[in-house]
Structure 1
Amino acid sequence: MKPFHLVLGLLVLLVSDPGKSQAESTVHETVRRLEDEWAEIFYRLPPNQHAEKFKGLLARVHSVSERYPKEADPLVLEAIVLCTYAAADIGLSSLSKVGKARELLIKAIDIDPRAMEGSAYVTLGNLYYRLPGWPISFGDDDSARQYLEAALKLYPNALDSNYFYGDFLLQQGEHEKALGYLEKAEKAPIRPYMVLSDTKLKEEVRQALTAAREKRNDHGDFFSSFLQPFFGDDGGKP
């Protein structure tokens, strides 16, 4: 009879990592640790330290991408680090960094569209709607919508996909439609392996919800005041 702790160990391996090779497990664990480091830098360190820290992290993430060229996760994380590095160190190289990030994200989608829970689609959508358009950069609202909706099709109940699509709709003036997605994001659970990032994202969800509700109320007040002369204070009742 095998010792209980050996049996338990085998069960954990079988349940937690079905069908994955040792190499796949290694790269996913490595990317997860590096992703945690990114969150610590982005959310906990003062902004004046971001550029230096992201530069160092980028080199390490890139080495993982080179070591595992057929894996999508390192490419997605490398793109995210590139974007935040570009934002922290704005200069002549910033646009080339986000351009490289776009290439990495498209490559990651070709390998595995579901990598990191659709983060490649979400990140591309954000780039397209936050960046300026041609001739400065590649910003484009139609492309942004397509990528964000693609993320939603893959992960219709996820925090990221619902929040960023809702925020996009809010910026487009589609306040009522945005509310549905933002409310869904508010209800989405915080992932145990992304507690810091998800907790901070929930704060942004609440701010966006407040803005969407205020816009909706302003819209209703406008029509109410516009129609009042026609129907009177009693709504036109006899």
Structure 2
Amino acid sequence: MKIITLRLGFALLIFTAALSAFGDDGAINSELAASASVAELQTSWAAAQYQEDKSQQEHDFESLLLRANNMVSAKSDNPDLYVWRGIIKASYAGVKGGLGALSLVKEAKVDLERAIALGGGTLQAAARTSLGSLYFQVPGWPIGFGSDKKAETYLLEGLAMAPDDIDSNYFYALYLIDQRQGEKARQYLERAYTAPRRLGRAFADQERRREVLELITEQQKQK
């Protein structure tokens, strides 16, 4: 049985602008508010995901999920918010463990599928990478919905949409390692390590690169 150990993170564009500058334009205000909400979730996710105090981590994710729920309720047609709520649920599942984790990843799957169905936004590649990661890390039937075939399909779609992204390369490499294709995985780990920095995501990029380097080092030791 596969163990759910999800550390998901995805390439994004964060729009930073003063909302007051567009006070007379409701449509622009709404879009900027939604982008600010996504940026808030990104930053808070990184803080929770890489929280060194593990006793605090579950509480942080619980609080973050409540905030994500409120944001989705306020802007239910925004695909990017569904992507990030799915990421948060999947990451929370990795921390929580047990049967509660399985229900969370099933909910995460629904959110990511909803984001893809809505289309648009800036995170369609992230939605596919996230969904692919769930498919290969979650147990298969009858316990869960895991499927290596679907995992590869979604991961490759995400990689095609964001070939230079740190997360699309990292998670495809994880999939290849899971499939015992370590040599092939190495090239994607190297691409992840040299991927361009993401705007507003310095801490998340720093921690992801640390994870990538750990995998590269581990592979070298196994040779």
TM-score range, shorter chain: 0.7 to 0.9
Deviation, structure 1 residue 143: 0.9
Structure 2: distance between partners of 1:34 and 1:154: 22
1:210, distance to aligned residue in structure 2 (A): 2.5
Matching of residue 99 in structure 1 with residue 106 in structure 2: yes
Residue among 127, 149, 153 paired with 2:156:
149
* Shift in alpha-carbon separation, 1:199–1:48, aligned structure 2, 3 A: same
Partner of 2:70: 63
CA distance in 2, matches of 1:37, 1:96: 22
User: Root-mean-square deviation (CA), in Å?
Assistant: 2.2
- Whole-Å Cα distance in 2 between the matches of residues 134 and 40 of structure 1? 33
Is contact 1:170-1:212 (8 Å) kept? no
Question: CA 1:184/1:114 → structure 2, altered by over 3 Å: closer, same or farther?
Answer: farther
Q: Distance in 2 between matches of 1:186 and 1:152?
A: 15
Query: In terms of mean alpha carbon deviation, does 93-102 or 150-159 score higher?
Result: 93-102
Q: Which has the higher contact order (CA 8 A, sep 6+)?
A: 2
Larger Rg: 1
Normalised to the residue count of structure 1, the TM-score between the two structures is 0.77
User: Which of 174, 178, 182 is equivalent to 2:185?
Assistant: 178
In the aligned structure 2, how far is the partner of 1:143 from the partner of 1:128?
7
Question: What SS does the aligned partner of 2:123 have?
Answer: helix
| Aligned-partner residue type, residue 204 of structure 2 | S
Q: Summarize deviations over 1:122-142 as a string: whole Å, max 9, x none.
A: 111111111111111111111
Aligned with 1:136 (options 140, 143, 152): 143
Q: How does 1:1-238 map to 2 (within 5 A)?
A: 21-112=28-119, 115-116=122-123, 118-215=125-222, 218=223
Q: Post-superposition shift, 1:199?
A: 0.6
For 1:52, the aligned partner's letter is: H
Structure 2 gaps, min length 5: 1-16, 22-26
Query: Residues of 2 paired with 1:167 and 1:115: CA distance?
Result: 24
Offset at residue 34 of structure 1 (A): 2.1
For 1:11-58, what per-residue CA distance to the aligned partner results, in whole angstroms no more than 9, with x for missing partners?
A: xx8xxxxxx832111101111012201111221341111222211111
Structure number with higher helix proportion: 1
Deviation at 1:113, TM superposition (A): 6.1
Distance 1:158 1:34 in 2: 19
What is the deviation of 1:106? 0.4
Q: Distance in 2 between matches of 1:33 and 1:45?
A: 20
Distance 1:52 1:69 in 2: 25
Contact 2:174–2:185 (8 Å) recurs in 1: yes
The runs of 4+ residues in structure 1 deviating greater than 3 Å are 211-215
Structure 2 CA distance, aligned partners of 1:113 and 1:203? Answer: 31
| C-alpha separation in 2, matches of 1:99 and 1:43 | 23
Q: Which runs of 5+ in 1 are unaligned?
A: 1-8, 14-19, 219-238
What is the distance in 2 between the residues matched to 1:133 and 1:21?
A: 44
Amino acid aligned to 1:177: K
Q: Which amino acid aligns with 1:31?
A: V
TM-score normalised by length of structure 2: 0.82
